[in-house]
Structure 1
Amino acid sequence: MEFSERLKNLRKEAGLTQVDVASKLGISQPAYASWERGVKKPTQENLVKIAQVLNVSVDYLVGNSDEKMEDELDNVEFLFRMNSKGLTEKEKEIFRRELIEFMEERKKSFRKDG
């Protein structure tokens, strides 16, 4: 399945309009629509945001996995790789640990709220 088709299907499964998703992403509806038509591709940053909005892993979104939600650590690793460029090894070590701690805290918070 092409990215554009998967994106459209996921949006519809979530019961969202193109305007809804575009608004959540902070972009225009025509910009979002161009992704669903396959005319353009989103940036890595927008891929992460789309995955969050549609509650799927980035790998699933881009067709690298058949699992909609993968282990949270996979997402942490992706975020780490995207945002750790230019850091020293020591800074990377701290950043990775803090990302994992943040994800764990958010999980606890969601369990309390749910």
Structure 2
Amino acid sequence: MKLGKRISQLRETRQLTQGELAQILGVTRAALSHYENDRRQPAYETLKKLAQYFSVSMEYVMEEVESN
């Protein structure tokens, strides 16, 4: 699983819109969309906020897992 899919999956578990999560993270909705579609990489601080908000480790957020 790539980083973008992981972010999207975490967002969907809390039933948040891209706009809502973007506001929580302090980024634009467009930036979050780019992250979820693996067109851009989030800054370290954004990843840190994401991990803290979802109560997961940075390693979990960044870990690439092959999916079938």
Q: How many residues align?
A: 65
1 CA distance for matches of 2:54 and 2:14?
7
* Residues 19, 29 of structure 1: 8 Å contact kept: yes
Match of 2:42 in 1: 42
Q: Percent identity?
A: 33
Q: In terms of Rg, which structure is larger?
A: 1
SS of 1:49's partner is helix
Match of 1:18 in 2: 18
TM-score, normalised on structure 2? 0.86
* Residues 21, 53 of structure 1: 8 Å contact kept: no
2 CA distance for matches of 1:41 and 1:27?
12
What are structure 2's unaligned runs of at least 5 residues? Answer: none
Match of 1:60 in 2: 60
SS of 2:20's partner is helix
Runs of 4+ in structure 1 off by over 6 angstroms are none
Write out aligned runs for 1:1-114 (5 A).
Answer: 1-63=1-63
When the two chains are superposed, the root-mean-square deviation of aligned CA atoms in Å is 1.5
What are structure 1's unaligned runs of at least 5 residues? Answer: 65-114
2 CA distance for matches of 1:62 and 1:22?
18
SS of 1:15's partner is coil
User: What are the Cα deviations for residues 33-90 of structure 1, in whole angstroms up to 9, with x where unaligned?
Assistant: 10001000001111101111222111100017xxxxxxxxxxxxxxxxxxxxxxxxxx
TM-score, normalised on structure 1? 0.53
Structure with the higher helix share, 1 or 2? 1
